[in-house]
Structures are given as C-alpha cells and as structure tokens.
Structure 1
C-alpha cells in the first residue's frame, strides 16, 4: 500500500475516532481503512491505535506518530502549493533558444512587445542555428525552423516560412538562368548546412513534390551568410522569403524557376514533454504565433 495515503488515513482516523467516518469521507469501505492502519502498524512494528467496541484511541506510539505525520503532511501541502504556482506564474526566468538571423529580424522585436505585457518575466536568450539539447542545456523553449531531429520533444507550429529559388542578376547574366530544377545541377548552389539534408532541395512543381541533389563551392551555417553570398553573385539558393524579400523588391535578387517552389518549412516552438507546461512557456508561444501572423505576412513578395 502507498505509505503516504496510509499516513493521511491514519491521521483522519485519529481526528475522527472512527473507521466508518473516515471511510465515508474518502468513499471507501471501513475494512479498507482498517487495512491501511494494519499495514502501517506492521511496517512500524508497533500498535498505533487501541481498539475497543466503542471507540478508537491512539496509543503512546500512535500519538507520537500522529504528531510527526500531521506536521509532515502540512509541510508537504505547503511545498506543493509553493511549487505548483510556477505552473501559473507570469514571472521568473524563461530560458529561450532562437535561430540567429530569424531571431534578429522577427523574434527579438517581438520579445520587446512581450516584455510590455509581462514586465516581471525575464528572458535568458541564446541565439544558435543548431538544434539545441533542451535537457542538457537547461532550455525551457526553443524556436526551430524545419523538420525536427528529436522526436522526444513536443513541437507546436507557430508559423511557416515560404522559400523561393533566387540568384543575383549578375550571376544569371554570367552563367545563364536555369529553366528546370534539373538544371540546378549545372550551377553553383549556395547550401545551408543547418538543414537536415543540406544538398537535397525539395520542391513542388507541375508534377507534385520532387527533389534535386545540388552542390556548390560554398556551404554556410547561417541564413544571413546565405543571403550575402547570393547578393554577391556567388551562386543560386533556395532561401526563405523573410530573408530575401527586400533584395527582390530592390531588384538585387531575381526569383527563378517560378513554376517550382521549394517546400515551405514550419516554424516550431519546441519544449520538453512534461505533465504540466509552465504558464510562461504557453504565454510566449501564443505571443510569437500571433506576432508572426502579422510580421511574416509583410514579407510576402
């Protein structure tokens, strides 16, 4: 039997002076109540209650045990009340990990608005384009773009990022413009290494979903570096719209292969599996999701 439950029942029996009263209170049979008391006495090797036909009275050992149990249960109740408040509080520190370039452009501005709503909450921010180990690194929440490698985590979609095939006019003037994705194999492609399959570009075209294996002489681990390389005429890229929309609008980048669109990537809020999700995690997820609905819409081309 569960010792803690037996201790609670024992204390109530001492206070009520009756098995049947406690049984009625806890919606159980008097014999079940008696079994809990007997189990405690067997465990402790001493009698806790003096039983007569008319009443139940604690023995000396029972009185001492009752005092200890009562004090412990009160302290346990206080601890549970104190700890459970973390589930609902909107203060304290949230350890947040975000990707570098997307974080600079879209998450950090959103965090300032979040602080206006919840001024008592602190954010310990880490910026990293790799997939972080939430447990080992003590991270409460990570924002990640694209498929997840760790299926043991919970991921909530809070947005999506459309992508386009692009190149600079200078590159296209020198090397020509591909007319089909297959022709990408003949071009220098700038590859983002943080993707799960960096050299495999998946896209949707007239025939549905397809993929092409590309290569190039430059691989980068950061979207900003990808953008700068393409602007400099190094090669072609499959780049997120939020990263390149200004370059397209300014004529510094040109969309190619317009009938073929790289697959859209989910923006996920990732956190550990727990029985209860902390309120501060829920609040920041909801805030970012609503913010992205506005900010990412502005980047469409």
Structure 2
C-alpha cells in the first residue's frame, strides 16, 4: 500500500460522497477504491467510515483523520511545487541564533523591519554566547562573530565588525591613558575568552604591526559582563564598536589608542547544508547584509 495514494483516495471519497464517484473520476474500478480504503483502515487499526448507515458517513476517528489528511496532503503538494519551481514562499517559522549582546543591540532592533517586508515569517530569536548545535537545536541560521571553524556548516560573510580599546574615565584618571599599544602592559586588560587569541591584542598603524600580550585579573566569556566591568572602572577592553556605542555617546566610556587600528572581527551567517535552499533563511541573510552596521570584508 502506498500511504499517500490511499490518503488521497480517502479524501476524495469523503469529498465526493461515494466510492463509485471516485472510481469514475480516477477511471478505475470501484473494488480498487474500496481496496485502498480497506488497506488504509488496516494500517490505521480501525474504520474510517461507519458502514452500518445507508449514507457514507465518517466515524469520529475518521473525521479527525480526514482533517489531518487534508493538512498533510496540502503541505506535500506545496513542497512538491516548491521543489519543482525552486521558489519557496517566504513564510513560516525561522529560528535564528546570535550572541547575547550582538543579538540584543544589533539583530533585535531589525526584526520589526524584516517582518514588515515578510509578514508571514515567524522569528524565534535565540540569544546565547555559546555556539549551539544547529541541527540538534533545529536552528535555521546563526550569527557568528569571529572565524567560523565548524565543520559541515555553510558560512556567508556579513562583513566585519571594527573594534576599539575602551575604558571608563574613572579608570583612566586612576591609571593613566595608554598612548601606544606597548603601554597596555601596565594596564588591567579584560580578555574575551570566546575569541581564540583573547590574550593577545593586535594593532596596525600604517605599515607597522603590534602584537601585544595582555594581562589582567579577570577574563569573561560574556560581552555583557565585560561591558559592565569596563563601566565600573575595573579595566580596559578591546571590544566591537557596537558594544560601547551608546556608552561613548553618553560619556560613560571613552576609546583610547584611536591612532592604532585593531583587527576587525568577521561577522558571518552560518547554516547547515540541509538549510541552504531555505528561502526564509536566505531572505533574512540578504536583509542583514543590507541593514547591519558592518564593513565590507577587508575594511
């Protein structure tokens, strides 16, 4: 028995109201239609039609099963059309993962704009500073900051995120303002441990390069925590501009070593190879490339 064929015949029998009408419609004998329905009932373990009545009537279980069949066959038809045409409707659920601070400050404010363009999409934004397993967590795409090394994932560049060195005015009043990268050795530098080389800060100035080992009495795997520690005057941080943008405007944090260019971090959208044909995911990636405040690769 082909389950989908039996389901299609069952639905047509319900809609046409008789076995014979469906037999004529499909140009097959009525016994063949009855055989398909009996095979379906055997598969289900119970009757779908109440045969003691004069008229064709569904059992309670048959009525529920009919509703499910309509939904399943509708999805199957839509999926078949989508595969054949290569054009999936941009609608339905989209689960997106992003780092906590970046998701809160950079992704969440854009969600409303995206949904105005694609109102039939439903976004589930998951924020975590740990790289989640996309397949296990059923995540459609994730935003990653830094070099993407995960095997089996497709990465699409969204640009790069510039970084600067930040400290609070209180900290700088107590410890002085570093004027060149080498002076960072005398400062309490807060390392972001999710980066591979968090204990070395690299800068360039024209043709000169500086690779500075940093020391400090605290590290963290959370951008939010680092921001709070900088705000309270604990130390200096090399962080993305978007993390401290509002604080700089308010005067609660200031950037230093502005004559030296810190290595920018790549920003990528990653997804499993199984999701590379998802129209929803591709639409969201295209939207982010338009709206994120990042710089082209190599900037």
Say whether the fold is shared (TM-score over 0.5): yes
1:201–1:152 Cα change, 3 Å: farther
CA distance in 1, matches of 2:78, 2:90: 19
Match of 2:80 in 1: 81
1:279–1:208 Cα change, 3 Å: farther
Determine helix, strand or coil for the equivalent of 1:185. helix
User: 1:280-295, aligned counterparts within 5 Å?
Assistant: 280-293=280-293
1:276–1:139 Cα change, 3 Å: closer
Match of 2:170 in 1: 170
User: 1:204-223, aligned counterparts within 5 Å?
Assistant: 204-223=204-223
**1:224-244 deviations in whole A, cap 9, x for unaligned?**
221221111100111111111
Q: Do 1:86 and 1:279's aligned partners in 2 also have CA atoms closer than 8 Å? A: no
Match of 2:5 in 1: none
CA distance in 2, matches of 1:176, 1:106: 32
Q: Do 1:142 and 1:270's aligned partners in 2 also have CA atoms closer than 8 Å? A: yes
1:245 aligns with 2:245: yes
CA distance in 2, matches of 1:275, 1:134: 10
Match of 2:160 in 1: 160
**1:15-44 deviations in whole A, cap 9, x for unaligned?**
xxxxxxxxxxxxxxxxxxxxxxxxxxxxxx
User: 1:19-34, aligned counterparts within 5 Å?
Assistant: none
Q: Do 2:140 and 2:275's aligned partners in 1 also have CA atoms closer than 8 Å? A: no
Determine helix, strand or coil for the equivalent of 2:273. coil
CA distance in 2, matches of 1:198, 1:94: 32
**1:55-106 deviations in whole A, cap 9, x for unaligned?**
xxxxxxxxxxxxxxxxxxxx9x969715627961211211210111111112
Q: Do 1:165 and 1:261's aligned partners in 2 also have CA atoms closer than 8 Å? A: no
C-alpha displacement at 1:245, in angstroms?
Answer: 2.1
Q: Do 1:86 and 1:278's aligned partners in 2 also have CA atoms closer than 8 Å? A: no
Q: Structure 1: state its 5+ residue gaps.
A: 1-74
Q: Do 1:163 and 1:262's aligned partners in 2 also have CA atoms closer than 8 Å? A: yes
CA distance in 1, matches of 2:108, 2:245: 19
Match of 1:38 in 2: none
1:150 aligns with 2:150: yes
Match of 1:180 in 2: 180
CA distance in 1, matches of 2:275, 2:233: 51
Match of 1:135 in 2: 135
Determine helix, strand or coil for the equivalent of 1:136. coil
CA distance in 1, matches of 2:152, 2:208: 31
Q: Do 1:93 and 1:121's aligned partners in 2 also have CA atoms closer than 8 Å? A: yes
Q: Relative to structure 2, which stretch is displaced further, 195-204 or 267-276?
A: 267-276
RMSD: 2.7
Match of 1:114 in 2: 114
1:261–1:79 Cα change, 3 Å: closer
- Structure number with greater Rg is 1
1:189–1:111 Cα change, 3 Å: same
Determine helix, strand or coil for the equivalent of 1:234. coil
CA distance in 1, matches of 2:125, 2:252: 33
